[in-house]
């Protein structure tokens, strides 16, 4: 099964991948990560991203995905959807040469690349289980809390669009799309949540991971709720999520003009 960990910066994605590999040693990392490309070609990224850098990163990610088949057990650090989210932020903030034309060019590529993934585990920012921002001496990772939250908002909007409009999301193919699942909590709780979807041998639980009826069955939902310590906080987060859906709708309208 081909998995990816996606989300804003400083949300424990690397820790989650390491914990996952320790729990499921039948899996392996991708042969090369986008981080290696950034270092090798000294590409600007995040707030400083450009058309050239984002295009190179996107093509690198797509090429890496295509190396693996459905029966391969591999976990990716981010995926093309992450690349698109960061490009969309740059377009909206007008911080570089990234514009609507570039986004229009990237969307179909990202959409088709989703066929090469089975599940995307999304790590959102939550009040229930906040992840403290760690300073990065190498300066390779963003630590600006406002920027991190804005990127997270775009991810949440796409996630909401995915769950509310299955098969009609411009960022996922109508058929053969991966499951997109929120994973949060402390390191142990995150692994426990993944166990609702991946069995001890690394296979998907409940059949096709892209079918919501299999992933979100009553037993899974009840077990997930048992992990949560404060339901009131979750309810307030859900209200915030609904507000973010308007952002993705604006992006969709722009891409259709």
Per-residue b/e over 218-251, b at no fewer than 16 CB within 10 Å?
Answer: eebeeebeebeeeeeeeeebeeebeebbebbeeb
Compare 253 and 83 and report the one with higher pLDDT.
83
Does residue 78 register a pLDDT over 50?
A: yes
Average pLDDT over residues 54-63: 95
Q: How many residues does the chain have?
A: 257
Measure CA of the first residue to CA of the last residue in the chain; give whole Å. 37
Residue linked to tokens 């989650």 = 16
List, in order, residues 6 or more apart from 138 with CB less than 8 Å away.
Answer: none
Q: Report the DSSP beta bridge partners of residue 119.
A: 3, 179
Q: Which CATH superfamily is domain 2-256 in?
A: P-loop containing nucleotide triphosphate hydrolases (3.40.50.300)
Q: Which DSSP letter does residue 132 get?
A: P
Measured N-to-C along each axis, helices 80-93 and 51-65 cross at an angle, to the nearest 10 degrees, of 160
- Arithmetic mean of pLDDT over the chain: 83
Distance, in Å, from the CA atom of 12 to the CA atom of 9, rounded to the nearest integer, reads 8
Residue linked to tokens 């899996």 = 27
Specify the 3-state DSSP secondary structure of 202. Answer: coil
Does residue 131 register a pLDDT over 60?
A: yes
What pTM, to 2 d.p., does this model score?
A: 0.80
Phi, psi for 214 (deg, rounded to 5): -80, -40
Helix (H) or strand (E) holding 128: none
Distance, in Å, from the CA atom of 153 to the CA atom of 166, rounded to the nearest integer, reads 19
Helix (H) or strand (E) holding 185: none
Compare 17 and 166 and report the one with higher pLDDT.
17
Q: What percent of the chain has pLDDT over 70?
A: 74
Average pLDDT over residues 58-73: 95
Chain segment 222-236, per-residue pLDDT in tens: 454 454 444 445 445
Distance, in Å, from the CA atom of 131 to the CA atom of 204, rounded to the nearest integer, reads 27
Distance, in Å, from the CA atom of 257 to the CA atom of 255, rounded to the nearest integer, reads 6
Q: How far is CA 39 from CA 13, 43, 140, in A?
A: 19, 7, 9
């Amino acid at each position: 099964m081909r998995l990816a960990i996606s989300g804003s910066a400083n949300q424990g994605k690397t820790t989650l991948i390491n914990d996952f590999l320790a729990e499921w040693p039948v899996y392996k990392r991708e042969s090369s990560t986008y981080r290696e490309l950034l270092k090798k070609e000294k590409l600007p990224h995040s707030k400083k991203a450009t058309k050239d850098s984002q295009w190179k990163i996107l093509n690198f990610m797509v090429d890496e995905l295509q190396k693996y088949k459905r029966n391969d057990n591999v976990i990716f650090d981010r995926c093309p959807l992450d690349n698109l989210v960061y490009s969309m932020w740059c377009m909206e903030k007008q911080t570089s040469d990234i514009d609507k034309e570039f986004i229009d060019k990237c969307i179909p590529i990202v959409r088709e690349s989703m066929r090469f993934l089975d599940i995307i585990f999304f790590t959102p920012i939550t009040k229930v289980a906040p992840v403290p921002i760690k300073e990065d001496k190498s300066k390779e990772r963003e630590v600006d809390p406002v920027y991190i939250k804005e990127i997270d908002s775009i991810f949440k909007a796409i996630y909401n669009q995915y769950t509310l409009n299955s098969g009609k999301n411009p960022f996922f193919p109508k058929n053969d799309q991966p499951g997109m699942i929120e994973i949060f909590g402390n390191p142990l709780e995150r692994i426990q949540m993944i166990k609702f979807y991946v069995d001890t041998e690394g296979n998907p639980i409940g059949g096709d991971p892209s079918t919501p009826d299999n992933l979100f069955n009553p037993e899974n939902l009840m077990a997930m709720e048992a992990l949560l310590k404060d339901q009131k906080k979750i309810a307030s987060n859900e209200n915030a999520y609904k507000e973010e859906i308007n952002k993705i709708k604006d992006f969709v309208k722009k891409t259709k003009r």
